[in-house]
Chains A and B, each alone.
Chain A
Amino acid sequence: MKKLLLSALLSVPLWVFGQGFQVNLQGQKQIGMAGAGSALALDEASVFFNPGAVSFLEKNSISAGVNPLLFKSAFKQTGSNITENVKNKIAPPFEAYAVWGPKSNKWKLGLGVYTPFGGLVDWGNEWSGRYALTSLNLKAIYFQPTLSVKITDHIGIGAGFVYNHGEVNLQRALPVNFPDGRSGHATLEGTGSGYGWNAGLYVKTQSNITFAVVHKSKVVTKLNDGTATFDVPESLRTSFPAGNTFNAELPLPSTTTLGVGVPLSKSTTLAFDASWVKWRIYEELAFDYATNTSALADTKSARNYRDGSSFKLGINHQASEKLALRAGVGYAFSPVQDGFVTPEAPDADRYILSAGVGYAPTSHFEVNASFFFEDVKSRQQKNIETGLDGTFKTLVYAPGLSLTYKW
């Protein structure tokens, strides 16, 4: 029966799970399982993974974790013999959760603060693609108050409201030269906000096999009155006025996840998640400047993302009362189409490998650690808009640690 279910799920036509700016680091235990776990009522991170499973958590808890992420991307121009690398910058995706409900009641309240999207890429001011991009620092921090209700002993539902606080800092060189030969530079910086929701259904069958259906809505994040700073020779100042501002919109996509949890033994559980991310809403990156000039028109850069999908398989093994071991594998299909790969998100299909360990010295306290690795496939591309022509290759490393208190 278990085997049948798994093969049924695995034979689902290949959905595309987009990566792009997606950060799959929202719960230390789940990270150790390659990001699978929507169908497991593992811990308070279910606020993110499946609000429906939160009501099945046995204890109240509070936790916080961080996953310093190293995004190591390399680029080689087509025809060149030089490989260029991004600078070593560590992005700090983090997650904090709290779950509370009266014991033996059918409902629980939850709060999650996490970073589901982001990007930190710094190619430096001298690299060959600097006129396309020098650096991007994008952060989306979601705040999600959640209510979860156990309808029966087998079914839980839950939903949360999502508020997003977004920050972006995008920089590139401008191909105009100062008298000493150096290039101009543009910096676009702003903060914005958006709203959405996250809802899930959790089903626990008689055989203890669990299922999940989760939908996280899109969050259209609007940046208003961001600052647009142009460092250009003074003779071009009228074309690039000082004190300019911009408005922009970053549509963060919705995600639908189907999950299954299979207890292989008393101490070992298998989790499988298949997700579909509707990245197709990311059609363009547009900047609407408050002041336009003949040289500074509003820009609309086509992105034309397609939907993406991913498949993640994780295993959680309770080695002893205090020690848990985890591992996971996954594969994700890029939402970025040929001709639209950019240095801000040098995306391609990727493999995911992960491992994790949990240690619970007492029944109240838990520490969990994980290591998450992504191998983004090498991809040779010529960008339609910028003409940037070369091969990108990216590896992602993210060790993580979280602390949990339960009662």
Chain B
Amino acid sequence: MVGDINMKKIILNSLVAATILFAASCKPEIETPAATTAGTANFGKYIAVGNSLTSGFADGGLYLEGQKVAYPNLIAAQMAIVGGGAFTSPFFTDAQANGSGYVSLTALVNGTPTLTPVAGNGWRDTPTNTRLAKYITEIQNLGVPGMRVDLSFAPTFSAANPYFERLLGDAQVGTTSYFQYVQGRNHTFFSLWLGNNDVLGYALNGAVTIPTDPTTALTDKVTFSSLYSNFVNALTAGGQKGVVATIPDVTAVPYFNTVTPAVLLTAAKAINPAAAAIYIQTGAGSVRAATAEDLIRLPFQNANLFARPNALGFFYGLDPRNPITSNWVLDKDEVIKVKDYVNSYNSSIKTIATSKGLAIADTYVYFNTVKAGIAVQGININAAFISGGAFSLDGIHLTPRGNAAIANVFIDAINAKYGATVPTIDVSKYRGVKFPDK
């Protein structure tokens, strides 16, 4: 029997030993076809040229959290894995992390959001608080909120745009154009996502151009093509490779799809069941009942105008004699016009990029798939305001999750064009909208 016990002991001991051994080792391996590589691209010095999307603008403001997850910053971190260099950005300091200020979601009652401004603290002229803290050392994230292709060539815009002004030395303000600013940086690779505001500025003002405000103009199609070509020529002057992005359909963002005529009518009927239609003033000046094809701007929900009676007792938006004014509405004819411009710009962008052998990140296609709804790593992402997860609280700019998803569109395009294997980004690590925990 002694022998039996020993035998049992041996078996038991070896089982325990085997279990511990296997718990510690024998991990399954997943073989990668090839090591990560930059392919034919050189990511030694990457610069990102663009507008608010490139800068990390989110929730209606430029602030540190958004800057850190701007898609170029996410891309640069992945490029570093395949030999890319450092990437610098004009971050606000931790002490000035609120930057220009932004909005946060402070309550959600029966699906109705309360958006509360968070005051900016990124000023250099406290207590006036109109001028942003300067950042004039060399940077690679060159995104400037509000930048347009046409105004890239206007030196005066550097004085008018506070986000551009903060990046310039005093002597350059008002004299240096964005086109000049981005040059001479000895970059080896670039991304260019510009042109959105050439049509969005117009659309965001309800397709009403204010003569004194060039940011509300619609850039002429031929002008766009010519200036964009100049831009690409400058960025590829040293034979650099890069990626350009198409412009999303501006009507694919929550800004134009949240406050719909149907939503307004339902709200009106809850108070007055006799309400029959929502009335709008079109861009052409006529007044008619709104249809689902007419898009109303997101800020209308907080404008405190809807259903207010005027002096004659006609309720705003509910009576043809007191319609929603044209600046709040992108009516269906204006939608057609805006879409036509986007298509024209994109056609120019793709033609120019193709002629230069550049990668094309087709964000136009991607945003349309987001509008329809997609599942990424178990996360359902769509273009719904707040719940969709991709768009921040301004309904136009991206959440960290949206930035990660779009960064992967760029990475896929870069990898496909240059035979690179820049690793994609784990989208699950990035948040959507923050919901109040009270």
What is the interface of chain A, defined by CB distance below 8 A to chain B?
68, 70, 72-83, 85, 88, 90, 127-133, 172-173, 175-179, 181, 183, 232-236, 238, 294-295, 357, 359, 361, 365, 367, 369, 371, 378, 385-389, 391, 393-395, 397, 399-401
Contacts and interface: CB of A to CB of B under 8 A. Distances in A.
21 contacts: A73-B28, A79-B424, A81-B36, A81-B421, A176-B432, A179-B435, A181-B434, A233-B434, A233-B437, A234-B437, A234-B438, A235-B105, A359-B7, A367-B8, A386-B375, A387-B377, A387-B378, A397-B22, A397-B26, A399-B18, A401-B11
B414 to A, nearest CB: 11
B170 interface: no
B299 to A, nearest CB: 22
Contact of B12 (A233, A387, A401): A401
B432 A233 contact: no
A83 B30 CA distance: 7
A181 B372 CA distance: 26
A183 B435 CA distance: 10
B160 interface: no
Nearest 5 A/B pairs, CB to CB: A132-B378, A131-B378, A387-B375, A79-B424, A233-B435
B424 A78 contact: yes
Given A172-B378, A181-B434, A385-B375, A236 B423 contact: no
The majority secondary structure among interface residues of chain B is mixed
Nearest to A130: B428
Given A74-B27, A387-B374, 20 more contacts: A72-B22, A72-B26, A73-B28, A79-B411, A85-B28, A130-B378, A131-B379, A175-B378, A178-B437, A181-B431, A234-B436, A236-B108, A361-B3, A361-B4, A378-B31, A387-B378, A393-B28, A395-B27, A399-B18, A399-B19
B171 interface: no
Nearest to A184: B435
A74 B423 CA distance: 18
B210 interface: no
Contact of B438 (A132, A175, A235, A371): A235
B31 to A, nearest CB: 7
Given A88-B23, A385-B375, A399-B19, A178 B426 contact: no
Contacts of B401: 175
B377 A77 contact: yes
B15 interface: yes
A355 to B, nearest CB: 11
A341 B27 CA distance: 20
Residue of B111, B426, B428, B431 most packed against chain A (CB within 10 A) = B428
Given A82-B426, A132-B378, A175-B380, A393 B30 contact: yes
Given A235-B436, A361-B1, A369-B11, A90 B375 contact: no
B423 A82 contact: yes
A165 B29 CA distance: 35
B432 A175 contact: yes
Contact of A386 (B8, B378, B427, B435): B378
Contacts of A83: 29-30
A176 B105 CA distance: 13
Nearest to A361: B4
Given A74-B27, A85-B27, A391-B30, A129 B377 contact: yes
Contacts of B3: 361
Given A175-B380, A235-B108, A79 B426 contact: no
B424 A77 contact: yes
Contacts of A133: 378
A172 B28 CA distance: 23
Contacts of A78: 424
Contact of A131 (B27, B28, B377): B377
A388 to B, nearest CB: 5
Contacts of A238: 110
B238 to A, nearest CB: 29
Nearest to A83: B30
B87 to A, nearest CB: 18
A385 B22 CA distance: 34
Given A367-B11, A399-B18, A388 B377 contact: yes
Given A77-B426, A82-B423, A128-B428, A387 B376 contact: yes
A341 to B, nearest CB: 13
Contacts of A131: 377-379, 428
B61 interface: no
A218 B32 CA distance: 40
Interface in B1-21: 1, 3-4, 7-8, 11-12, 15, 18-19
A188 B428 CA distance: 21
Interface in B346-389: 374-380, 387, 389
Interface in B405-435: 408, 411-412, 415, 421, 423-424, 426-429, 431-435
Contacts of A177: 431-435
B263 interface: no
Nearest to B23: A88
B154 interface: no
B159 interface: no
A129 B412 CA distance: 20
B134 to A, nearest CB: 29
A400 B4 CA distance: 18
B434 A128 contact: no
B86 interface: no
A73 B28 CA distance: 7
Contact of B428 (A129, A176, A236, A361): A129
Residue of B107, B415, B424 most packed against chain A (CB within 10 A) = B424
Nearest to A131: B378
B434 A74 contact: no
B305 interface: no
B125 to A, nearest CB: 30
A80 B426 contact: yes
A56 to B, nearest CB: 28
A226 to B, nearest CB: 21
Given A79-B412, A82-B426, A129-B378, A367 B7 contact: yes
